[in-house]
Amino acid sequence: MLDNKTILVTGGTGSFGKKFTEMVLARFHPRKLIIFSRDELKQSEMAQVYPESKYECIRYFIGDVRDRDRLQRALNGVDIVVHAAALKQVPACEYNPIEAIKTNVNGAINVIDAAVDRGVQRVIALSTDKAASPINLYGATKLCSDKLFVFANAYSGVNKTRFAVVRYGNVVGSRGSVVPLFLKLRETGVVPLTDARMTRFWITLEQGVQFVIDSLARMHGGEVFVPKIPSMRLVDLARAVAPRCEQRFVGARPGEKIHEVMVPEDDARRTLEFDDCFLIQPEHRFWDVEQTNHQGGKPCPEGFKYSSDTNTRWLTVEGLRDLLGLADES
């Protein structure tokens, strides 16, 4: 469905944007692939890997999602938007709340307005497990963003722009994640951990991109797609990445949960379960499930929640080492 389409990725020079670009260029033939981001250095570095001279469809567009006028210009003639731009570091958002709101909430509003005004066909926004029952500002801004994108389907009116959300957990090895940090700290002999009980959902960058592409194909508007992915205890992750290091417990950071939830119990009442994912249906229905490819989904039972501590899929120490290509150092 991406062939002969004009696609724009906000935050396109980030970890997701670069992997999305790699996979789309390898597998599809878009009319244009526009990398929209505010960092000229990262765009310059990315253009060395994917130069316009070699990839005729690629374009680099400097801009910020906070700038509505720039988005209006950038989305002219665009068919599909993948919204990946965000401030996502939990401590940074706690200490800079206004900046987080400007990017994650106001930026979402600007993307929605520009997409509707420019007649974009489909918009899919990247969310996070921290948006489900949030306790930190990052999660709260992303929950607000999720709500905005879901209800933008009513806002779009006759223009028929459709919006959906993809929500997944921690990305293994992404920029700013704990895996690169632990790999760096191996030289010190000590890795800091916050709580021995802590668990998280994990997904690879390639799996995340593939799930977004799949969700673009199956969306009708208003859905929140949640992939079925494994959990892992942080102490086991440290054993996998830095097996010879001392684990030193330092206490939870501001706004940090012991376990993450991707489908809260209250949302589960309108959630369908499929083999590969959960689909949280919008509270105000924008489509009839009998007329969509969402048939076959099984309603979640009363009291269900999709949490990292009660997950049925777990990533082992050996499995993570294989995923990262690390030798067994035990």
- Hey, what are 168's tokens? 């997944």
3-state secondary structure of 71: helix
Q: Are 26 and 212 in contact (CB under 8 A)?
A: no
Is residue 130 part of the annotated active site? The answer reads yes
Q: Is 34 helix (H, G, I), strand (E, B) or coil?
A: strand
Active-site hit among 18, 130, 142, 257:
130
Could you give the CA distance from residue 135 to residue 57 in angstroms, rounded to a whole number?
41
How far is Cα 161 from Cα 237, in angstroms, rounded to an integer? 41
Q: Cα-flanking dihedrals φ and ψ of residue 47, to 5°?
A: -70, -20
- Taking the CA atoms of residue 155, residue 158, residue 161 and residue 162 in that order, the dihedral angle to the nearest 10 degrees is 70
**Which residue, among 86, 181, 145, 133, has the nearest Cα to 308 in the 3D structure?**
133
Order of all β-strands in the sheet with 277-280 = 58-62, 32-37, 6-10, 80-83, 122-126, 162-166, 224-227, 277-280, 271-273, 298-299
Inter-axis angle of helices 107-117 and 137-155, to 10 degrees? 20
Beta-bridge mates of residue 272:
279, 299
Residues tagged active-site: 130
